[in-house]
Amino acid sequence: MKNPLDSLWWTILLGVVLTGVLYYLAQMLVAQSAAT
Amino acid sequence: MLSDAILRWLHVLAGIMWIGLLYFFNFVNAAAVKEATAAGEAAPISKYVMPRALLFFRWGAVVTWIFGAALLGSMTAANGMNGFAAAFALQSNMAPIGIGAWLGTIMLVNVWTFIWRNQKKILGFVPATDEEKAKARRVAFLASRVNTMLSIPMLFFMVTGPHQSIYH
């Protein structure tokens, strides 16, 4: 199977998806800090 | 404070140097080298462009990290911790910029280990067989693509870190 990072468009898409996942994580971390 | 503004300014200036060259490598140079190699004309790029570009690229990464770390260190988190410690511990209001800081740190390590070490073989700065050069080319390419991918969330957390409202 071809590595998705061989394609620039896949690289960008993976970056955008990772941004969404990490944004969700950041929201959880901030909420957790506010609650303690 | 003026010192914070200066640290932020220098961090962004160096960051543009670093990430600008990363995007040059991935959006322009990789395709250009591929075409030039097929035409037997890639040697001038390797000889005149890459050594200069990689010099500013790898040291731009270091300078970006140092000014970023200094900027974080000059801050105080909402829980009273030092900004640098709170960011890397993903604590309090520094958690979002901390994610960006971790991504930037991973990218810096990637530059100096996987990219630069392999580029030295590709460009002939250290001796390598053709087989080793081929392997180095692949590893450096993928490491550069990983950094391009990581730069997208890294820049998101860098620019949104000071805007806490989007995290509530």
At A1-36, the pLDDT tens digits run 589 999 999 999 999 999 999 999 999 999 988 887
3-state helix/strand/coil string of chain B: CHHHHHHHHHHHHHHHHHHHHHHHHHHHHHHHHHHHHHCCCCHHHHHHHHHHHHHHHHHHHHHHHHHHHHHHHCCECCCCCEHHHHHHCCCHHHHHHHHHHHHHHHHHHHHHHHHHHHHHHHCCCCCCCHHHHHHHHHHHHHHHHHHHHHHHHHHHHHHHCCCHHHHC
Nearest-angstrom CA–CA distance, B125 and B51: 10
Of the partner residues A5, A16, A31, the one whose CB lies closest to the CB of residue B152: A16
Residue A35 touches chain B, beta carbons under 8 Å: no
Quote the mean pLDDT of chain B: 96
Specify the number of domains making up chain A.
1
CA nearest to B92 within chain A: A33
pLDDT of residue B143: 98
CA-based nearest distance A31→chain B, Å: 7
Low-confidence ranges of chain B (pLDDT < 70): none
- Tell me the residue range of the domain where A17 lies: 4-35
pLDDT of residue B2: 86
pLDDT of residue B65: 98
Cβ–Cβ gap A18/B93 under 8 Å: no
- Kindly list the domain boundaries of chain B, sorted by start residue: 2-167
pTM for this predicted structure: 0.95
Chain B residues interacting with chain A (CB cutoff of 8 angstroms): 26-27, 78-79, 90-93, 95-96, 99, 142, 145-146, 148-153, 156-157, 164, 167-168
Are A6 and B30 in contact by the 8 Å Cβ rule? The answer is no
> What ipTM describes this predicted complex?
0.94
